[in-house]
Amino acid sequence: MNPALDQLKAYPFARLATLLENERPDPSRALIDLSIGEPKHQPPEVVLQALAGSLTQVSKYPPTSGYPELRKAIADWASQRFKLPHQALDPLANLLPVNGTREALFAITQLAANPTRAGGEVGMPNPFYQIYEGAALLAGKQRVYFNSTDQGQPDWRSISDQQWSKLELLYICTPGNPSGVALDEATLAYLANKAIEHDFILVSDECYSELWLGDEKPAGLLQACWNAGITHFRNCLVCHSLSKRSNLPGLRSGFVAGDADIIRKFALYRTYHGSAMPGATQLASIAAWQDESHAEHNRQLYREKYRQVMPLLQGICDQATPDAGFYLWLNTPIDDQQYVRRLYAEAGVKSLPGSYLTRVSNGSDPGINHVRLALVAPVEQCVEGIQRLVAFHKSLN
């Protein structure tokens, strides 16, 4: 057996289940779950209809590279969203549909890691999405965790050239999970230039990019590359998903786009891996990428939650509404695991300890004394959950 399997860490939600297993919250009031970031808004009707109308697709093998119509729909969407000129993204060369970003984020490291390069590292932000770490472990690579600052993203400009030169791949997450902070275009261009200079693959996980909460759409790596003159997107990839944008976490649909050389090798890898997107999913995904109205409606629903919830948190958190996403990342006045356990036991609210999303790096752990809350439940439940949290929080003082 691969010994790296033993190094895989328990998933945050498995750890949470263990943490809470002996607690019995008051059964007379409904439990409010703010722990898991699974979208709960309605999936778009237009997509459900497309899915239902394409079931006969099961009678044939789907192409790994995706139907040309899907690739075109994705290229059109991404070009419009990230203000790329016509034909900047070649639908046949620069992108691939994937079964959700999770599997693509994992697979890309298996592709990028050079087994003969000793000391090569896979970098990631800290906190991070645990797939990045598992992918690096199973590819036999060292992990390097770049701590986020209090501003919600790592200070990417403070990384030394010596550190850059060790990387084989760097994951970034923008807008970030859990901070919701988006990297600006200049920082993305800076990172793209570092990826070229030090010859590593830069993977930008942008699966929350469509849930912007203010007036400004988060920048993306493709647009940053293009505007910086990196028109072949060299060494750069972005990952996008319908899970959050379109409330379709069960559809398993997203795409990877960027450097044509990497995409070509990725397509080859995926042919062997057997990860073609089912035909019905492909047709439903075309309908999703071609419709923007449901995505706008979705944003409105999240904005309304933050509009109602943020004033309740005054005095507990001086944070402003995040740039995007559906999380809140709060400081806790006591140990975060204790906080989460007691919040569950005493107030019937499930949340996630910050330290389940981080590792100790450079002698510190940016998840300690933090809690992550996902505002995915209906607005009334989110409001009640935060009201209960505020009362609990105040009772600690």
Ligand X SMILES: Cc1ncc(COP(=O)(O)O)c(C=O)c1O
Binding residue for ligand X (CB under 6 A) from 91, 249, 258, 279? 249
- The residue among 134 and 249 lying less far from ligand X, judged by its C-beta, is 249
Both structure tokens of 94: 């620069």
Selected range binding ligand X among 82-90, 100-108, 263-271, 341-349, rule: CB under 6 A: 100-108
**Alpha carbons within 13 A on the beta-carbon side of 50:** 20
Q: Output the smallest distance, CB 101 to ligand X, in A.
A: 4
In the complex, least distance from residue 132 CB atom to ligand X, rounded to whole angstroms? 9
**Which residue is associated with the tokens 């419009």?**
80
Site for ligand X in 65-84 (CB under 6 A): none
Q: Which of 25, 220, 254, 279 binds ligand X (CB under 6 A)?
A: 254
The contact pattern for ligand X, residues 222-241, with x = CB under 6 A and - = no contact, is -------------------x
Site pattern 107..136 for ligand X (x: CB under 6 A): ----------------------x-------
> Residue 224 or residue 357: which is nearer to ligand X going by CB?
357
- Rounded least distance, CB 243 to ligand X, Å: 3
Closer to ligand X by CB, 352 or 390: give it.
352
Candidates 99-107, 109-117, 372-380, 381-389; binding stretch for ligand X (CB under 6 A): 99-107
266 binds ligand X (CB under 6 A): no
Contact range with ligand X by CB under 6 A, out of 71-79, 94-102, 226-234, 384-392: 94-102
Shortest approach of ligand X to residue 239 CB, angstroms? 7
Q: How far is the CB of 334 from ligand X (least distance, A)?
A: 26
Among the listed residues 25, 62, 100, 220, the single contact to ligand X using CB under 6 A: 100
Ramachandran class of 100: left when φ > 0, alpha when ψ lies in -120 to 50, beta otherwise: left
Q: Which is nearer to ligand X, 12 or 91 (CB)?
A: 12
The Cα–Cα gap between 116 and 138 comes to: 15
Which of 65, 101, 130, 179 lies at the binding interface for ligand X (CB under 6 A)? Answer: 101
Residue selected from 71, 102, 245, 388 as contacting ligand X according to rule CB under 6 A: 102
> What track of x and - describes contact with ligand X for positions 174 through 213 (by CB under 6 A)?
---x---------------------------x-x------
The β-bridge partners of 97 are 255
Site string for ligand X, 24-43 (x = CB under 6 A): -------------x------
CA 36 from chain centre, in angstroms, equals: 13
Q: Tokens 């006591």 identify what position?
A: 334
For ligand X, the binding residues (CB under 6 A) are 37, 100-102, 129, 173, 177, 205, 207, 241, 243, 249, 254
